[in-house]
Amino acid sequence: MTREGNLDGLLAGEVVVFTGALSMPRRKAANLAARVGREVDGGVTKNTTLLIVGDQDVTRFETGQSKSSKHLKTEALIAKGPRIRILRESAFLQLAKAAADYAQE
């Protein structure tokens, strides 16, 4: 699922990819990201700047289970040099809310 970001959005210029089980439908998460300026891509590439990992999956991964293929690919890309941030879904939602609130001021 891809979305073009709002060029006037406070967080414009980022390319975000979602992985894992989210607390909301992926379509809604993608729309939220695009609204605050983030371009949404369906897969991790060298252009990805941010990977959002569902909070439920982060908890499961901490107990030793394997990570999603997108998460593993992101870590492999980071090891080669690209700067990609990995955020939990809850942190992304706080950031998106802050950006939306700021835009309305």
Give the position of tokens 């950031």.
95
CA 51, 15, 70, 76 torsion: positive or negative? negative
Main-chain dihedrals φ then ψ at residue 28, nearest 5 degrees: -65, -40
pTM: 0.83
pLDDT value at position 82? 83
Element (H, E) at 52: strand 50-53
CA nearest to 10, candidates 83, 97, 89: 97
pLDDT value at position 57? 56
Pairing type for strands 39-40 and 15-19 reads parallel
Q: How many CB atoms lie within 10 A of CB 55?
A: 18
pLDDT value at position 2? 81
What is the tens place of the pLDDT at every residue in 29-87?
999 888 888 899 999 999 999 999 988 755 455 555 568 889 989 999 999 988 999 99
Q: Is the pLDDT of residue 19 over 80?
A: yes
Q: Which domains does the chain have, with CATH numbers?
A: 15-103 (3.40.50.10190)
**Confidence class for position 17, pLDDT limits 50, 70, 90:** very high
Q: Is the pLDDT of residue 103 over 90?
A: no
Give the position of tokens 């939220």.
32
Contact present, 52 and 85 (Cβ < 8 Å): no
State the DSSP code for 65. P
